[in-house]
Structure 1
Amino acid sequence: MPALRTRSHAIVSASAVIVTLLVGGCASQRPPAAQTPVTPAPPAAAKATPLPAPVKPAPVEIKPTAPTRYVVRKGDTLWGIAEHYLYSPWNWPEIWYANPQIKDPHWIYPGDVLTLYYVNGKPRVSVTGGPRVNGLKTVVLKPGIQYEKLPTSEQRIPIQTIRPFLIHARVASVEEMKNAPHIVGSSSGQLIFGNGAHVYVRGLPAHPKSAVYDLYRPGKVLRSPKTGKIIAHQVTYLGDIRIIRDQGPIATGVIEHVTEAIHAGDRLLPHNKQASNYTFMPQAPRVKVDGQVISLFNALSMVAQYQVIVLDVGSRQGVRKGDVVALEKKGRVIDDKYASPGESHSVKLPDSRSGTAMVFRVFHNISYALVMSSTRPIEIGDIATNP
């Protein structure tokens, strides 16, 4: 059965008698001209036929997939529109609600915005937008993706990469580790201590300023590449300990927040109360940087972009959080077989750029930096200088 009445494939009638409503056509831009129906006279001999008994209309059933909002498009048929809402499209007049505030409220035009709503539990569909309602051309918006290149001067910092290094990761000086209090054992005689264990601590000051300490274990020794001397210990965070009794040279503490198994000999360092600051402003160093890469994290021999390195310069050398340094490889010394008379055959090649790094954690003589770019693998011994 055709879906709608229209002339010149134009308009959808929404409130005519149901048989007339479902006759031929598509939605378009202009309603048909009004027509005066002509009813032929019945034959003189014909007798009046009684009308059939009225049938109670079936309840209108809205599809669960019916759109709350629908924009009429050119070529839509009333039947097709009704099928979006009803299992029985012919029941459309039961839900169509004429809009007295608009011209030709009994017709549906391309661009009309149809809205489904309920009044006293009964479904209604009416025109709530489109050219006839707001006088503006209807634009159907569709989701899309737009790609833009970020300015090359902006660098996004992968916080998830450096977060573990912002709170508990630290280095300790030789003197600090030498004088740090340490665990000597427990009342139970266990060799490994976990969360909640009561342990004995030796070396605490007579009147400690805080009851909470961080537990660390000495790790990699960091040496100056220039002098070969130890400048710091890279220490591993193990957990926290709370001192519950401080009597005499041996104190009692309870281990809290364990990240690794704790042994006798593990050291207590002052609790790090510094709040994590995830804001970084890359900047040029304000001092002449003369450093080297002395250690790598999560790597044996080389790292690349978004990996962490350790530099042998820190606050003592004027390095600040956010300073960007250039990473360079030392030029090799080669033998120039074609040297002119009077020239040295031993020639040192210029240093060459291998990447850049941004300092994100600064200690006294040490700093942690994140490799932001790399054209070649970054290795221990690479030079850190001004970019």
Structure 2
Amino acid sequence: MPEAAPAPAPAPQATPAPAPPKPAPVEVKPTAPTRYVVQKGDTLWDISKRFLYNPWSWPEIWYANPQIKNPHWIYPGDVLTLYYVNGKPRVSVTGGPRVTGTSTIVLKPGVQYEKLPNAEQPIPIQTIRPFLIHPRVVPVEQMLKAPHIVGSSEDRILFGNGDHVYVRGLPDKPKSSVYSLYRPGAVLRSPKTGKIIAHQVTYLGDIRITHNGSIATGVLENVTGAVHPGDRLLPYAKKDLNYTFMPQAPKVRVDGQVISLFNAISMVGQYQVIVLDVGSQQGVRKGDVVAIEQHGRVIRDDNASPGESPMVKLPNSRSGVAMVFRAFDQISYALVMSSTRPIEIGDVVANP
């Protein structure tokens, strides 16, 4: 008799994603005002710190007034009132021009303002604006697929403003006729896998495409340095960017590291920009606040009991908190909001 075919092996079970952490209970400061009038120059982070120990918990207590225009935004002149419903704190707009109906001059709403009236503002927009307009780190997939310059009509290797150059890799019908030029630099690797996940890039200028095709033609504009073959084209940055941010706790469990620093060699502090190895693929969103922690040291315990290891790893210690202001697929930019010690490459990124 023929032998029976062996039973198929059971399909491997997918490893379930770690459950998101339970949000910490909202803690209202005992010094929180029951009534606060929003001032010109206030930011949401600033206002949240008046009421809460953790500013990223603001969405948990904010109660939008549906009867007023733009109920999710806060304007100068709004009267914010703290009250409790079934023992839970809430803050809503209970007075001010929008409630009384008197005329007002509407200032830029939201969390941040392009012009800061003084140096005490907790979210300096001038610090992050360059990173919103021109990226300094680009995901590796985007850089590898980006069109590139192959040469010019004059057989030169360096190009400048007004030069006509040839571009390879543009789609047959590009969505835009203007692109920005970048030069790939150092690579950033995932601390977990060692794979390259991003390129540091340098902004060089812009290019206007004049003729499409498999080899397109373009004219260089606003060039800040010499352009040469191999420089990459990325989408042109829009100038009308949204500078509003809602600080919030992440909805997912964050498990990442700091992989790059800006404007620093080895460490950064408050109001400086860092790059994280987690992004939108891991559920990280614009406005998410994360904790930055230093790895716990390994020390020797000379008083260990029999059977215990004399070497002990101390718990991680918090260095500060940062807010994500731009999220890509596998990386994100974050602004250090507060720090108690220098933040370095390799520090742990976790839920606050």
Q: Does 1:279 align with 2:252?
A: no
Deviation by residue 1:7-55 (Cα, 9 ceiling, x = unmatched): xxxxxxxxxxxxxxxxxxxxxxxxxxxxxxxxxxxxxxxxxxxxxxxxx
SS at match of 1:161: helix
Q: Does 1:326 align with 2:326?
A: no
1:94 maps to none
1:238 maps to 204
Task: For 1:246, give the aligned amino acid.
Answer: N
Cα contact 1:171–1:363 (8 A) shared by 2: no
1:261 maps to 226
Instruction: Give the whole-Å Cα distance in 2 for the aligned partners of 1:162 and 1:245.
Output: 35
2:215 maps to 250
2:300 maps to 335
2:260 maps to 295
TM-score, L = length of structure 2: 0.63
SS at match of 1:163: helix
1:167 maps to 133
**Superposition pairs for residues 114-263 of structure 1, below 5 Å?**
151-152=49-50, 153=52, 156-169=122-135, 171-247=137-213, 249-263=214-228
| Cα offset, 1:273, TM superposition | 4.1
Which stretches of structure 1, 4 residues or more, deviate above 6 A after TM superposition?
Answer: none
Q: 1:358 aligns with which of 323, 330, 333?
A: 323
Instruction: Give the whole-Å Cα distance in 1 for the aligned partners of 2:259 and 2:204.
Output: 24
For CA contacts below 8 A with separation 6 or more, give which structure has more relative contact order: 2
Instruction: Give the whole-Å Cα distance in 1 for the aligned partners of 2:146 and 2:246.
Output: 34
**Superposition pairs for residues 88-103 of structure 1, below 5 Å?**
none
Instruction: Give the whole-Å Cα distance in 2 for the aligned partners of 1:205 and 1:311.
Output: 31
Deviation by residue 1:101-152 (Cα, 9 ceiling, x = unmatched): xxxxxxxxxxxxxxxxxxxxxxxxxxxxxxxxxxxxxxxxxxxxxxxx9755
User: RMSD value over aligned CA atoms?
Assistant: 2.0
Task: For 1:235, give the aligned amino acid.
Answer: V
Cα contact 1:213–1:270 (8 A) shared by 2: yes
| Cα offset, 1:164, TM superposition | 0.3
Instruction: Give the whole-Å Cα distance in 1 for the aligned partners of 2:198 and 2:317.
Output: 29
**Superposition pairs for residues 364-383 of structure 1, below 5 Å?**
364-383=329-348
Structure showing greater Rg: 1
Task: For 1:334, give the aligned amino acid.
Answer: I
Share of identical aligned residues, percent? 75
| Cα offset, 1:243, TM superposition | 1.2
1:19 maps to none
SS at match of 2:212: strand
- Unaligned ranges ≥5, structure 2: 1-45, 56-120
Instruction: Give the whole-Å Cα distance in 2 for the aligned partners of 1:165 and 1:175.
Output: 19
**How many corresponding residue pairs?**
238
Cα contact 2:181–2:203 (8 A) shared by 1: yes
| Cα offset, 1:168, TM superposition | 1.5
| Cα offset, 1:274, TM superposition | 7.6
| Cα offset, 1:201, TM superposition | 1.4
Cα contact 2:122–2:337 (8 A) shared by 1: no
| Cα offset, 1:217, TM superposition | 0.9
Instruction: Give the whole-Å Cα distance in 2 for the aligned partners of 1:209 and 1:169.
Output: 20
Deviation by residue 1:141-193 (Cα, 9 ceiling, x = unmatched): xxxxxxxx975556721001111011111543333322322112222333322
2:279 maps to 314
Cα contact 2:133–2:238 (8 A) shared by 1: no
SS at match of 1:309: strand
Task: For 2:331, give the aligned amino acid.
Answer: I
- Unaligned ranges ≥5, structure 1: 1-148
TM-score, L = length of structure 1: 0.58
Cα contact 2:139–2:328 (8 A) shared by 1: no
Change (3 A) 1:317 1:275: farther
Deviation by residue 1:56-85 (Cα, 9 ceiling, x = unmatched): xxxxxxxxxxxxxxxxxxxxxxxxxxxxxx
Out of 198-207 and 211-220, give the one that drifted further: 198-207
Instruction: Give the whole-Å Cα distance in 1 for the aligned partners of 2:317 and 2:198.
Output: 29
